[in-house]
Structure 1
């Protein structure tokens, strides 16, 4: 190993055997010197980029790759500056024909026998097929506008068409931010009333006097500011669906009026003595347990039975963490289109932080966190420093595992399901929508330790 006139270590020439090996692998491989000039370009690199090795060698790597991170977040520069390798980071490049394709890149330093750096190496893999498969998975795990691979949600998906086709009242229970209105819209879209209007009202956002007017409308002169007739939400939703969110917050007096509408299918606008017939399907939702409110005398039992013909319970995001990567990717894709950006996704550390967080605000909190990150992250991957300060503070003491994979996510989901079911494997298998033997194999594969006191 020698040095040139400037004292810079020369790169060693690759042996014919090494070149044959590098040309035979499916991943693209190229090396650069300390001035960023390409010094080696294998056959797969030619195929992926559409650039012959003869044209690539000797040129600056940014001219060859034209990647979306070349100018601002060059992965090789990061490795040169820090000495740390990059592993499977997603980026996109422009092929010679102008086509943009997704790839994943890994980087490392090249050192001689005396541990002196003389260049860098980057390997990259074409993710076009993976991207196609991702879109197929997105189609598979999407039910209308709801995205989930969680067994808990898939159970709801399986019965939703039958629920939608009925005319029965539906009660959706779930914490704030779990997507209750989204689910109600899916029911409407699948129902015979799909061509009719879908009207939503948050009952917890209005005082009683305004809420009554919003629901039933009013006639001119009904109260001081009522200068003209006004239609209520029941009239707006005629022959369609009326979604009443946070129904547990309405007063006992208004509960009586709502019960009458459900029983007699008619109502009187405020200030009017004339009944109006209504043909509306009611879907209600609450982040409170209405059964407990009935026991406390805070919600009428007869109204509860009227709205609770079919009950759907949306699990919190903490119980469906396997959905976090899918949901994050969905929000990133949507915001990229809205903001005209090219954010690639979440870094491993960010995904690990997301998986460790309990998400008390559920999907709405996740969406808000990503929207916040879009303000600070100009391109590339969303890093922990791009997230809201409160989210970073709450997870500051949590050790984040590197390189979180779908297998890690599956392992965690199975472990949490086992804990919820007190390690009863049959009950866990039912919740996950798999048979007991499949669960047993997954427990063994992930090396989950079953307590000796496990009931089965």
Structure 2
């Protein structure tokens, strides 16, 4: 069995007693010790520790700070992203400020308070990881993984969806996209169309939930002149307009039962009749539909026809939420920043580490649509070159980092519970199943952490 990964921590200290004390205190890290500048630089070059604690009083100048500052300069010249925490004698404020100005991350005073130093070191590791992620994202901006022509993602969960769509695009079958609001269902429907042999014909979309029930039939099937009051001319419906191309029925679960019968007949016979007409009109169109509703439950309740479901769902594609698309929230935030800053606020160039942490940690109940809206507002409202968590109206997580293992575990519990509840839209049984616990246990955890389902 492999040993658990431990982040590397370099302690530069010439006092052997303090070396032993710090080694014992930092058993959660892979601790390396150097007692002078030469050995410290060799370890930084070979091991690349993210965090270094550095006593400024090193030989051959143990009573001064010259050798300590030379060591700080050498470490940062070699690895500028290293977080160096310097030790100063009591009251040596000038040395501390000089060290910060020279690039040190933070300082602590001797005699050492192990708990205080431990908190500084943990924060240094967390900031180093956040900055690393920021750099990785910077490298990927402008070179994002674009799939299906327009969708930006690097998440394995979404790449799997894209591969499925690319595979079925040329098979002339009906495709049903299942996913929460804001997950990009219309974008994926366009991806089906653009990857198919129908790409040169029209892509016609209709949101079945946005049109009043008494008008939806006319929108879909069209009508003849004089069919009803106000029908002053013959009008083609969306189905006819999609001849040769693709018809996208968004929120198909909102189609009323009487209209479901007429839609089923079209899918079976591939002919329509306009309202007020008697002529059968053949139409060749590919159907792609989407919904955030549970159609199988609606079938059981008698609100959706089972035969229509199987006609529409020849291929079913389940779309992950943004919270399930690992790494995509930060990647998409970078994309939206570049897009909106160019149009609205060119001075904005990036994110603070706290903002990036907040984006990564937030459960995004509104998915990509919520992220896009928050980014647009943040770019407009930002007062500096870097967007903050406050600009995004998200909690500034760098001010609330866990200070011990117990609080870290509790925060992880809270995050997992929130994500499970978001995915199941507040369904306790479903969330408990996702978490692998019983309903009573989940209720106890909700009460313990003061969370609302």
Same-fold status (TM-score > 0.5):
yes
Partner of 1:76: none
Q: Hey, what's the Cα distance between the residues in 2 that align with 1:148 and 1:131?
A: 12
CA RMSD in angstroms, aligned pairs only: 4.1
Query: Does the C-alpha gap of structure 1 residues 397 and 131 become closer, same or farther in structure 2, counting only changes over 3 Å?
Result: closer
Equivalent position to 1:331, from 309, 329, 336: 336
Q: Which residue in the other structure is 1:318 paired with?
A: 323
Matches within 5 A, 1:249-328: 249-328=254-333
Does residue 345 of structure 1 match 2:345?
A: no
Q: Structure 1 residues 399 and 192 mapped into 2: Cα distance closer, same or farther (>3 Å)?
A: same
Q: Could you say if the C-alpha distance between residues 246 and 365 of structure 1 is closer, same or farther in structure 2, counting changes exceeding 3 Å? A: same
Residue 140 of structure 2 is aligned to residue 134 of structure 1: yes
Distance in structure 1 (CA, Å) of the matches to 2:365 and 2:75: 51
In terms of mean alpha carbon deviation, does 254-263 or 354-363 score higher? Answer: 354-363
Q: Indicate the larger mover: 379-388 or 296-305.
A: 379-388
State the partner residue of 2:163.
Answer: 158
Measured against aligned partners, the alpha-carbon deviations of 1:21-74 in whole angstroms (never above 9, x if no partner) come to: 65993567xxxxxxxxxxxxxxxxxxxxxxxxxxxxxxxxxxxxxxxxxxxxxx
Select 2:93's aligned residue among 95, 111, 115.
115
> Could you tell me how far 1:152 is from its partner in structure 2?
2.2
Structure 1 residue aligned with 2:149: 144
1:236 aligns with 2:214: no
The counterpart of 2:221, out of the listed 213, 216, 225, is 216
The structure 2 residue matched to 1:245, chosen from 247, 250, 270, is 250
CA contact (8 A) 1:353 1:400 kept: no
Shift in Å, 1:271:
1.8
Cα deviations by residue, 1:52-104 (Å, 9 ceiling, x for unpaired): xxxxxxxxxxxxxxxxxxxxxxxxxxxxxxxxxxx89xxxxxxxxxxxxxxxx
Deviations 1:377-413 (A, max 9, x none): 144121122124xx55xx89993469xxxxxx9xx99
Unpaired runs of at least 5, structure 1: 1-11, 29-86, 89-104, 403-408, 424-456
Quickly say closer, same or farther: Cα 1:106–1:268, change in 2 above 3 A.
farther
CA offsets per residue over residues 321-377 of structure 1, 9 Å max, x none? 432111111111221233252422332222322333222211111111111112211
Q: 3-state DSSP class of the match of 2:162?
A: helix
Alpha-carbon shift at residue 132 of structure 1 (Å):
8.0
C-alpha displacement at 1:289, in angstroms? 1.1
Classify 1:366/1:21 alpha carbon distance in 2 versus 1 (closer, same or farther; 3 Å).
Answer: closer
Q: Does 1:382 align with 2:387?
A: yes
Instruction: Decide which moves more: 353-362 or 180-189.
Output: 353-362
- 1:318/1:132 CA distance change after superposition, 3 Å: closer
Cα pair distance change 1:211/1:297, threshold 3 Å:
same
1:249 offset after TM fit, Å?
0.6
CA contact (8 A) 2:354 2:397 kept: no
Q: Is it true that 1:25 corresponds to 2:74 in the alignment?
A: no
In structure 1, distance between residues paired with 2:322 and 2:335 = 15
Q: Tell me the distance in 2 between the aligned counterparts of 1:300 and 1:338.
A: 47
Output the CA distance in 2 between the equivalents of 1:150 and 1:262: 35
Distance 1:292 1:253 in 2: 19
Contact 1:349 1:401 in 2 (8 A): no
Structure 2: segments with no counterpart, 5+ residues: 1-63, 105-130, 404-411, 421-432, 438-453
Shift of the 223–134 alpha-carbon distance from structure 1 to 2, 3 Å rule, reads same
Deviation of 1:313 (Å): 0.6
> Are 2:335 and 1:354 aligned?
no
C-alpha change, 1:138 and 1:305, in structure 2 (3 Å) is: same
Aligned ranges for residues 65-144 of structure 1 at < 5 Å?
Answer: 114-116=92-94, 117=97, 120-122=101-103, 133-135=139-141, 138-139=144-145, 142-144=147-149
2:344·2:380 contact (CA, 8 Å) conserved in 1? no
Which residue matches 2:194?
A: 189
Structure 2 residue 400 is matched with structure 1 residue 399: yes
For 2:264 and 2:347, locate their aligned partners in 1 and report how far apart those are by CA, in whole Å: 51
TM-score by length of 1: 0.61
Q: Give the paired residue count.
A: 323
Asked if 2 retains the 8 angstrom alpha-carbon contact of 1:107 and 1:122, the reply is no
SS at 2:386 equivalent: strand
